[in-house]
Structure 1
Amino acid sequence: MWGKILGALFGLALFKLPGLILGVLVGHYFDQWFQRKLGNWEGIQSVFGQDDEQALFMYSSFAAMGHIAKATGVVTKAHINQASHFMQQLGLNAQQKKEAQAAFRDGKAVNFPFKVQINEFYQRYKKRPDVLQLFLEIQLSIACVEGRVEQEQYKLLLQVADCLQISKNTLDQLLLSYQAQSRFQQNPGTAQEQAKSLLAAYQVLGCVPEVTEQELKRAYRKLMAQHHPDKLMAQGVPAAMLDVAKRRTQDIQAAYELIKQQRAKSR
């Protein structure tokens, strides 16, 4: 409301009637932006019972998911189901789900300040690189829900990575890992399917089949350390979001065990 009033006054003083109209329009967009920034923070913070830092994590995560899901112009049923499944896996209660859904809807809006939101998130967590990567992985989970990432979605993921000071190479490796994760989780039957599953396991760890035992173990330990729930909680990740890290460590562990078993058989 104050944005429209102040905009109208300044516009009228500077440019008479045309300035009044322009000032009201500019003030209207300011009011919308301010209400979204302030109103949603107060709402989600009170509902999740967290400090403003963790509320920022929750709101930014779901709003960015909504924006990436809408990147192609249409939010598919798969994206909606993935977001709902994600909320369910986090163990959110009815009111928390309502707030998460509101953040998701905010992100779908055409005028949603996507880069502004990600930059604000980065400023709060910039000294905690593991948290920044977890945030990027959360966005990958929605982008990869249909097994492929559309060009428009990839461009947004690049924006997220750029805002978080994560390299394009790291993004591409994570993307390959997430796409491989779904293949790895399938139950292989034929020898060909088993070979594909093994290759996917290497990709989950960010490795190639030719990697040495020492390099394989180093990659495994690095990933496990990055996704350790206790470490992430100490760095400000909301408790509800730790389930993402727990599932990721389970996949990393399973991929590593499969590779070790196959290598033991080949000796």
Structure 2
Amino acid sequence: MSIWNSISEFIAYISNAASAGMADVVDAVRSRFAANADLRRRVAFSVAMIALSAKMAKADGVVTQDEIRAFHEIFEVPAREQRNVARLYDIAKQDVAGFEIYAARMARLCGSGKENCPVLEDILDGLFHIAKADGAMHELEGTFLREVATVFKISEAHYETILARHIDLGQADPWRVLGIERGQPFADVKKQYRKLVANNHPDKLIARGLPEEFIRIATTRIAAINAAYEMIERGLKPA
């Protein structure tokens, strides 16, 4: 079942509140959906993506048609709900609070101090998908994404792995995508590849809170992992 009715009700709730600042949105999600942990995770994820997309657009200063298209590729918002989503986007974009405050509260979804949280990586992947939609990662977008990753406690090494899925880093690219040191035996490469495929199966992403509408993240991530593995395999296995 689509969660957009729940999200729209939540957006109406915070829009009518005396203070609609994004810094309080995570706490509002917790209280509003306290009785349903699964729905709470899914709504929190969706709200985070919408809000941080708006903050990224504000940092860059420009919203292109390609970025709008990319947003709708990963968020299949029903026509009747698009107005409410636009309201949340505008609230986030106009809010004077910096994205760091909001991102820090989102990081609490994984508990205090946890590094390389899969849910936060999912959010970061979605932001990358939107940022690169116009064919280039602009400097301000890159700075924004790296700072969000820092707030999310994504390690530098893991961030490079995420970055490599989206940006061509040249010869080291396939090794970085798989998160394995260059030159390792093919048996180790294959083991790491199988682990990544298992961890990023669409069912796993849904289980940890991604809305079904967002499953494009899983398919594009696995496509990048498959391509990287095939590149390494061609280079290491005898013809």
TM-score by length of 2: 0.71
Distance 1:64 1:249 in 2: 24
State the match for 2:12 in structure 1.
Answer: none
**Aligned AA (2:96):** N
1:213 is displaced (CA, Å) by 0.2
Higher relative contact order (CA 8 A, sep 6+): 2
Q: Secondary structure at the match of 1:78?
A: helix
The amino acid across from 1:223 in the alignment is L
More divergent stretch after superposition (209-218 vs 155-164): 209-218
Runs of at least 5 residues in structure 2 that lack an aligned partner in the other structure: 1-17
How high is the sequence identity, in percent, across the aligned residues? 24
Match for residue 54 of structure 1 among 42, 57, 61: 42
Shift of 1:201: 4.4
State the one-letter code of the partner of 2:77.
Answer: L
Structure 2 Cα separation of the partners of residues 96 and 55 of structure 1: 14
Task: State which of 189, 198, 210 in structure 2 corresponds to 1:216.
Answer: 189
Size of the aligned set, in residue pairs, is 214
Tell me which of 205, 219, 225 is aligned to 2:178: 205
Distance 1:235 1:63 in 2: 20
Q: Alpha-carbon deviation of 1:245?
A: 1.2
Partner of 1:165: 153
Partner of 1:178: 166
8 Å Cα contact 1:199-1:209 kept in structure 2: yes
Distance change (3 Å), C-alpha of 1:137 and 1:250: same
1:131 positional shift: 1.4
Q: Which has the higher helix share?
A: 1
- Equivalent residue for 2:79, pick from 73, 76, 94: 94
Distance in 1 of aligned mates of 2:23 and 2:105: 16
TM-score under structure 1 length normalisation: 0.65
CA–CA distance in 1 between the matches of 2:23 and 2:157?
A: 37
Give 1:66 deviation, angstroms: 1.9
Partner of residue 125, structure 1: 110
Residue number among 232, 253, 263 corresponding to 2:205 in the alignment: 232
2:142 paired with 1:154: yes
In the TM superposition, what is the alpha-carbon distance from 1:204 to its structure 2 partner?
Answer: 3.5
Q: CA deviation at 1:124?
A: 2.0
Instruction: For 1:168 and 1:100, locate their aligned partners in 2 and report how far apart those are by CA, in whole Å.
Output: 32
- 1:203 deviation in Å? 4.6
| Structure 1 CA distance for aligned equivalents of residues 104 and 127 of structure 2 | 15
Asked if 2 retains the 8 angstrom alpha-carbon contact of 1:70 and 1:108, the reply is yes
Write out aligned runs for 1:23-34 (5 A).
31-33=19-21
Q: CA deviation at 1:263?
A: 4.2
Supply the AA of the counterpart residue of 1:108.
Answer: K
1:136 to 118, 121, 124: 124
Residue 178 of structure 1 deviates from its aligned partner by: 1.0
Helix, strand or coil for the counterpart of 1:111?
coil
Alpha-carbon deviations, 1:25-48, whole Å to 9, x = none? xxxxx734289839x969x98xxx
Look at both structures and tell me which one has the larger radius of gyration over its CA atoms. Answer: 1
AA of the residue aligned to 1:118:
A
Q: Deviations over 1:36-91 (max 9, x none)?
A: 839x969x98xxxx73332111011111112113322222232222223332xxx4
Q: Which amino acid aligns with 2:103?
A: I
The alignment's C-alpha RMSD in Å is 3.5
